[in-house]
Structure 1
Amino acid sequence: MKAVQLNATDGPSSLALADVEAPAAEPGTVLIDVAYAGVTFPELLQSRGQYQMQPPLPYTMGSEVAGTVREVGEGVTDFAVGDRVLGVAGTGGYAEIMAVPAASVLPLPETVSLQAGAGMPMNLLTADFALHVRGNLEAGQSVLIHGAAGGLGSALVQVALAYGAEVVAVVSTEEKAETVTNLGAQHVVFADGFKTEVKEIFPHGVDLVADPVGGDRFTDSLRCLTTFGTLLVLGFTAGQIPEVKVNRLLLNNISVAGVGWGAALAGRPEMVAQQWESLWPHLSAGILNPSIHAVLPMQEAGKALEIIDSRSVRGKVLLDVNGDENDPAASAR
């Protein structure tokens, strides 16, 4: 089968299309005929050898896909050949066929196209884990979201809104402001001087800050929190890992919480299905609908990572592996 493999850690140019052996349907696994694969920021880091999970080279990249079930392994009873599904795994997504543990295979609502579905699993599940599990978000609370127009940021906006929150979206350009406004964010502020604008909207501060950016925004994000508020650390796309003076936490009764969805999942494989069940009503209703920035052919996976690296992304970047224009859900969208 065709697959995109990482052959070195020199960046996106290290990716190349290759002929590799197709995976087998081992017990407890599902083989998926991949239609579309999602492209994520951690994969950009992997291409440079900068990510905490770095398999031996060469390997097939890609952590999330949408497609149809090709074959099920022994012991798998929840899925059948032909089912429209999403799959999440550490590697193997940039390929015509992906093997996924059954616990990490998710059904796709009939109203959601395979293309849209490929933009959902990693970002929606991370956003749900951040806001619902780590942030204990309640309806009526306020959430400040950095990098709000990106793949993860836009998912955070949509999940927060679905759970009844009031969202302040932080963006860097007018185009990104338009993107998050279209997603439904009630307030949009620009990254430069965001603290002042947030304080004008919420003089007493916000309940949660979701930050996948890090860098020099961190201290001002803490200053945006209300009493008992929490800053959720989702990543460091700015490149700099900030440090916190813990006296700020003590004096202001605020918290900083790490959001490591993948690490939490490692010992709790059942968590994926539980989260998906929680999100299902919103998915079926079309409330959680990813904004697609670009769809590139699989052989241009390196270019897809370069687009993510440009910081210009508004929504999700996908690879078309074997997309089906006749996908029955596509016409319903």
Structure 2
Amino acid sequence: MRAVVCDRLGDPSVLKIEERPVPEAGPRDIVVKVGAASVNFPDVLTVSGDYQHKPDLPFVPGMEGAGMVYAVGAERLDWKVGDKVIFGIRPGAFAEYVAVTPKGHLLRLPEGWSFAEGAGFRVAATTAYHSLVHRGALRQGEVALIHGASGGVGLAAVQLAKHLGARVIATGGDDERLAVVKQNGADEVVNYRTSDFVSAVKALTGGKGADVIYDPVGGEVLEKSMRAAAYGARLLVVGFTSGGPSKLMSNHVLIKGLSILGIRAGETLLRLPQMGYSYAELPKLAALGVMRPHISHRFPMECAVDAFRALIDRKVVGKAVLEMSI
């Protein structure tokens, strides 16, 4: 089989295609023939060596994908050859076949979904659900401010927040991409390059501010968000796609009674596996079409470098995927 391989750390140009053996299914494993794999920002960071999770070299990048069950371990009676599935693996998704161990995650591909849509579901949906439901406790009628809304995790958060009954204000830096965000459920969109989002949020909420702020961007965006927050707001620190952490003003935290919450959905499941039961809601939400990914870019495996660069250059709306023949 072919796989995208990283044998040295650096920019996306270090990636190359190699031939590797098709994995065999151990007693508790499922081997999946991959139809598509999603490219996520943590994949970029992992290849550059800047992510918390640092696999040994060489490795096959990729956190999630979708495809068809190819082989089933003797103890895995819950799946059969031919089942269409969404899988999580860390790392290893950018290959024509993957072995999903018991530590991995398998969901059934919803009826009517393409492999590309399935490939883009799990990471974004899990992050959005953990953020807004577990940590942010977003309630019907509250105002949710979603930053980075045209990215994969941002768009999933917009869709979920709207489903939960919130008023959704979404930010981004491009009007065309924000138009897609609007189509996916945002009540209002704000281009932070041409408008001051703090002033906009204050005006849209009658001076109150946002109750829950979802921020995968970090940097100055999170710092300014404290001024856009309502009293008692929950600030969800999801990531740092801006390139670095923020310097938060503790006086704002004190005066406004803010809660600042770190979001690491995967780490939470590792440390608190008892919380896994709540993720049973994800297949139900997928069946309803909630958090159905928007796929703006599709690349063959040979163009993995181009897929990474499209993500880095902020050309992607929702998700970019690598597609394999199946």
- Give the shorter-chain TM-score range: over 0.9
Match of 1:228 among 218, 232, 239: 232
Structure 1 residue runs without a partner (length 5+): 324-333
**Residues 30, 105 of structure 1: 8 Å contact kept:** no
Show the counterpart of 2:90. Answer: 90
Amino acid at match of 1:319: L
Match of 1:196 among 192, 199, 212: 199
Q: Take 1:81 and 1:267, find their aligned partners in 2: how far apart are those partners? A: 32
Measured on the aligned residues, the alpha-carbon RMSD in Å equals 1.5
Q: CA 1:273–1:4 in structure 2 vs 1: closer, same or farther (change >3 Å)?
A: farther
- Deviation, 1:28, is 2.5
- Deviation, 1:253, is 0.7
Show the counterpart of 1:329. Answer: none
Match of 1:309 among 309, 312, 315: 312
Q: Take 1:237 and 1:23, find their aligned partners in 2: how far apart are those partners? A: 34
1:154 aligns with 2:155: yes
* Higher RCO structure (Cα 8 Å, ≥6 apart): 1
- Deviation, 1:281, is 3.2
Show the counterpart of 2:290. Answer: 287
- Deviation, 1:111, is 2.6
**Mapping for residues 255-274 of structure 1, pairs under 5 Å:** 255-269=259-273, 271=275, 274=278
Q: Take 1:303 and 1:8, find their aligned partners in 2: how far apart are those partners? A: 18
- Deviation, 1:247, is 2.7
**Mapping for residues 23-102 of structure 1, pairs under 5 Å:** 23-102=23-102
Q: CA 1:40–1:80 in structure 2 vs 1: closer, same or farther (change >3 Å)?
A: same
Show the counterpart of 2:245. Answer: 241
**Paired positions, count:** 322
- Deviation, 1:243, is 2.0
Show the counterpart of 1:212. Answer: 216
Q: Please, which moves more after superposition, 193-202 or 244-253?
A: 244-253
- Deviation, 1:101, is 2.6
Task: Give per-residue Cα distances to partners, 1:107-136, cap 9 Å, x unaligned.
Answer: 122132222111111111111111111111
Q: Take 1:173 and 1:27, find their aligned partners in 2: how far apart are those partners? A: 49
**Residues 37, 94 of structure 1: 8 Å contact kept:** yes
- Deviation, 1:200, is 0.2
**Residues 107, 283 of structure 2: 8 Å contact kept:** no
Amino acid at match of 1:263: E
Q: Take 2:272 and 2:261, find their aligned partners in 1: how far apart are those partners? A: 19
**Residues 34, 68 of structure 1: 8 Å contact kept:** yes
- Deviation, 1:271, is 4.6
Amino acid at match of 2:298: V
Amino acid at match of 1:246: S
- Deviation, 1:273, is 6.0
Q: Take 2:293 and 2:97, find their aligned partners in 1: how far apart are those partners? A: 23
Q: Take 2:251 and 2:14, find their aligned partners in 1: how far apart are those partners? A: 44
Q: Take 1:269 and 1:112, find their aligned partners in 2: how far apart are those partners? A: 28
Matched position secondary structure for 1:266: helix
Amino acid at match of 2:257: N
Q: Take 1:215 and 1:185, find their aligned partners in 2: how far apart are those partners? A: 23
**Residues 106, 273 of structure 1: 8 Å contact kept:** no
Show the counterpart of 2:8. Answer: 8
**Residues 38, 116 of structure 2: 8 Å contact kept:** no
Show the counterpart of 1:142. Answer: 143
Q: Take 1:23 and 1:221, find their aligned partners in 2: how far apart are those partners? A: 46
Q: Take 2:204 and 2:141, find their aligned partners in 1: how far apart are those partners? A: 15
Show the counterpart of 1:163. Answer: 164
**Residues 32, 71 of structure 1: 8 Å contact kept:** yes
1:113 aligns with 2:124: no
Q: CA 1:116–1:211 in structure 2 vs 1: closer, same or farther (change >3 Å)?
A: same
Matched position secondary structure for 2:25: coil
Q: Take 1:99 and 1:247, find their aligned partners in 2: how far apart are those partners? A: 50
TM-score, normalization by structure 2: 0.95
Amino acid at match of 1:194: F
**Residues 104, 272 of structure 1: 8 Å contact kept:** no
Q: Take 2:274 and 2:51, find their aligned partners in 1: how far apart are those partners? A: 25
Q: Take 1:279 and 1:142, find their aligned partners in 2: how far apart are those partners? A: 23
Q: CA 1:162–1:308 in structure 2 vs 1: closer, same or farther (change >3 Å)?
A: same
